[in-house]
Structure 1
Amino acid sequence: MLSKEICIHGDILEAKEKTTVVTTSLEVIKEKVFDDLGRAFYDTARAFATGPKLRKDGRAPYLHILYWLGTSNEWALDLIEAVRKFPKHRSSVNTIMEKGYLEGFLNGERSELFAECIHYEPNTHVISVEDPKFVYYIRNIQWKKFVLQVGYKSFNFKSSYDYALSFAGCDRDVAEALFNKLEEEEVSVFYDKNEQHRILAENVEEYLGPIYRSEAQFVVVLLGPDYPKRVWTRFESEQFRDRFGDASVIPVWFDTAPTGLFDDTTKIGGFHFYRSGDFESQINEIVSTLVKKIAEERS
């Protein structure tokens, strides 16, 4: 009987005329192969999973893309289709695609590390694995262990957004500053201006309602003087009204709002924002606390 067998130790290199019995189990062989590949590819996988900077309390969009590649039956992944399949990560993954962060990262300072393993086509949003050995490696990663090794605290997320912002137009400067800072920390935030292209041609109430009712883990309400006067803020507040009882609404009280206007919200913890105070330091303090809050929820 002719057989061609591959031995991990290199004892069998070509076809033999006699059958050779290999007593080493397949699992041991696979583990040895994985360990050998780990020495070649762990640094690449870890560098991609962390993205430009490790945000241990963030949404980990780069890590999830690597996970989707590793659990896919294909060598290429359409990220547009992937976020449809995994809607909880739509916001964070769309952000790094649409703002060019993913392309810039792969072509940046560490491009040589990724060049022979991963290719991304920004025009089609398709990311592919180029090296068959790297494919084998990421398909056999023990993901729970890998997540901790990389430095993330969690790999499971309860909601599509960590925070949804509800505010009147006159307070958009505060909302946008919060959104930008939280986005830098890879915290997923629903901010209407960032989603305008998705809202187009949709029934706006049907689109926004579920976000404020349940798809955001927390709602941050900017309670400025115009908040009760606007149609859309009234609509949004109707959606999350019942959430005050389950500790998922966070008020931000503006000193410019009339005294007593929001007294019914003062029984829960929130923030004070002073228009006459230092804008940047107040934004940073709120963001820092919100990041700690979501990190505690995940852990």
Structure 2
Amino acid sequence: MKYPLEEIFRTEGVPEFTFVKPPNYNEIFLDIRSSGKPTIIEGQSGTGKTTVAKKVIEQAFPQGDFGYLSARSTGDIEKVLEISQGTLLGRWIIDDFHRLDSDVQARIADLVKLAAEDFDPSAHPKLVLIGINKVGSELINLVHDIAKRCGIHRIQPADKEIAAEIIRRGEDKLNIYLDNKDAIFAETGGDYWLTQLTCQAICLGDGVMETQVDRKRVPYRQAEVRGRIIGRLDNTYREPVKEFSRGKRFRPTNDPYFRLLRLIAAQASSIADLNELANANPEVRGSINNIKDRRISVVLESKPICDRYFYYNPETKTFAIEDPAFFYYLQHIDWEDVRRDCGFRDDPHHYDWDFAISFAGENRVLAELIADLLEVLDCTVFYDRFYEANYLGKAWSDQFREIFGHRARYVVCLLDAHHEKKIWPTFEREIFSQRVEDGAVIPVFLDETRFAGVPRDIVGVDFRGRDPHDTDLVTDEIVLKLEEKLKDS
């Protein structure tokens, strides 16, 4: 019997002929089959979480009375909400659980607890929740005694033996022999989906489109196969890479998103804790810290193409690339070519912040409003409260000396009598006044106070007598002017 290549090494849907059970398949099977036991399946992208769940359901519930819902599908969200509100019973997979709003997750977590405690399974829906790493632990944080009441399983990448079995089953159906299986495993790292894709690409490169009449030896030429795969993926993934790398508002010297993406592509996992990533990589720590609290979320919210391919939880600082094909693409593209394609240009002086705001405590309302509005425009801003957690245990004096002295491209100083008298603003002023001649200091005059080292004829923003609570006024008179200045730098 002849089989088409795409049905043997499948890159879409559930493999029929080359599915191999992971070591903990039977444990997952029992928990899913158990009518009163909620089940959580977690793991990084490409590990076959959804495939395993569907295979179990196919075997345990052949009548098909088990629904599939995904948090990525707008058409499924209504049913997910009904489940969370307790108005929809039945058996359900909820895939991409981590993408649901936190309040919906919390309601489902409470539902999971009730279902596990109740002796009448028919009173609650049977749920299988699928998501990226830490879904189980995050649910436990929502409902602390949930762990002993539900099955939590992690799908690990295939080991060499399982990967070899996937390949062997494909070889049997296609009547071929793939050379250098160790090199295939080294390339795919045990990723189930990537193993399927690589084997398919190897066959395509040697003209194997279906089952061969005579057994055929098929060589594996790594560079050729990798190049073919990346070329195939480029049309799909180049645009989201560029859109994310360029941020919400593109500036040729503003590349923290590009730096983050390149760093994640260099690691083994497609999931990263940005706090850990920043601490482990001092050379990009400033870039990551500047965008991890709020700005990444702003980019994803403003660019649907980015939200489709990237996941970010600003509370846990978990960043993920959920599509295994996309992660493979990122691991092997030419990043310097991407940088040129994005339009970034080299800056002889790398700044961690576009702006640092110097102010007295009496003007904190205005300072915070400026900082918030600049971040909406995707500018990096040093405003002390944004970074208190990053500098715990460190002396502010040392940090301010660096930030106002050379790590911020521009210093925005809110000048008035309070700034003149207060200790910290005076300390900051002594530092940044040395940068006045370089045009790096932008004063916002709030009264008539004069300052040594800051000439009165320096071009700044006259905000005397204006309302610091007026968002429109602050936007027009200060923030948009600062952004325009940044564009010209």
TM-score normalised by the shorter chain: which range applies? 0.7 to 0.9
CA distance in 2, matches of 1:164, 1:142: 34
CA distance in 1, matches of 2:262, 2:277: 11
Decide which of 414, 425, 435 is 1:243's aligned counterpart: 435
Higher RCO structure (Cα 8 Å, ≥6 apart): 1
- 1:61 offset after TM fit, Å? 4.8
Question: Which moved further from structure 2: 179-188 or 66-75?
Answer: 66-75
Q: Does 1:257 align with 2:458?
A: no
Cα deviation per residue 1:220-272 (whole Å; 9 max; x = unaligned)? Answer: 11111221111111111122232223332222222x224x5568523533222
Q: Which runs of 5+ in 2 are unaligned?
A: 1-175, 180-201
Query: What is the correspondence of 1:283-298 to structure 2 with a 5 Å cutoff?
Result: 283-297=475-489
Q: Which residue is 1:222 aligned to?
A: 414
1:40 aligns with 2:232: no
> Residues 162, 48 of structure 1: CA spacing in aligned structure 2 closer, same or farther, 3 A cutoff?
closer
Q: Which of the numbers 237, 247, 266 marks the counterpart of 2:456? A: 266
Instruction: Give the Cα–Cα distance (whole angstroms) in 2 for the partners of residues 104 and 282 of structure 1.
Output: 26
Does 2:31 correspond to 1:31? no
For residue 369 of structure 2, what is the aligned residue in structure 1? 177
Within a 5 Å distance, the mapping from 1:190-229 to structure 2 comes to 190-229=382-421
Report what 2:274 is aligned to. Answer: 79
**Contact 2:414-2:443 at 8 Å conserved across structures:** yes
**Is the contact made by 1:91 and 1:161 (CA closer than 8 Å) also made in structure 2?**
no
Task: Indicate how the Cα distance of structure 1 residues 222 and 103 shifts in structure 2: closer, same or farther if over 3 A, else same.
Answer: closer
What is the distance in 2 between the residues matched to 1:42 and 1:64?
Answer: 16
Task: State the Cα deviation string for residues 13-35 of structure 1 (Å, max 9, x = none).
Answer: 6898776789xx86555433212
- Letter in structure 1 aligned against 2:405: R
How far apart, in 2, do the equivalents of 1:26 and 1:197 lie?
A: 45
Offset at residue 158 of structure 1 (A): 0.8
- CA positional deviation for 1:211: 1.3
Distance 1:163 1:122 in 2: 22
1:158-179 deviation per Cα after TM superposition (whole angstroms, max 9, x unaligned)? 1111111111222223222211
Contact preservation (8 Å) 1:83, 1:93: no
2:178 corresponding residue in structure 1: 4
Q: Which residue does the alignment assign to 1:55?
A: 249
Residue 160 (structure 1) aligned with residue 352 (structure 2)? yes
C-alpha distance in structure 1 between counterparts of 2:462 and 2:388, whole Å: 29
Distance 1:200 1:257, change over 3 A: farther
Distance in 2, Cα, partners of 1:34 & 1:140: 7
Q: Is the 8 A contact 1:103 1:120 kept in 2?
A: no
> Paired residue for 2:143?
none
Q: 1:215 deviation in Å?
A: 1.7
2:288 and 2:306 map into 1 onto residues whose CA distance is 25
- Identity, % of aligned positions: 23
Give the stretch that moved more between structures: 236-245 or 194-203.
194-203
- Per the alignment, do residues 289 and 91 of structure 1 end up closer, same or farther by CA in structure 2, a change over 3 Å counting? farther
Helix, strand or coil: the match of 2:178? coil
Matched AA of 1:94 = K
Q: Please provide the CA RMSD for this pair.
A: 3.8
Q: Tell me which residue corresponds to 1:142.
A: 334
Moved more, 264-273 or 78-87: 264-273
TM-score between both structures, scaled by the size of structure 2 = 0.49
Residue in structure 1 matched with residue 20 of structure 2 by the alignment = none
Q: Give the TM-score taking structure 1 as reference length.
A: 0.75
SS of residue paired to 1:268: coil
Q: Aligned pair in 2 of structure 1 residues 204, 45: CA closer, same or farther (>3 Å)?
A: closer
* AA at the equivalent of 1:265: P
Residues 36-72 of structure 1: CA deviation (Å, up to 9, x unaligned): 1123333444454456xx3112845544432222222
Question: How many matched pairs?
Answer: 283
- Structure 1's unaligned 5+ residue stretches are none
Give the match for residue 193 of structure 2. none
| Aligned-partner Cα distance in 2 for 1:246–1:101 | 34
The offset of 1:199, in angstroms, is: 4.3
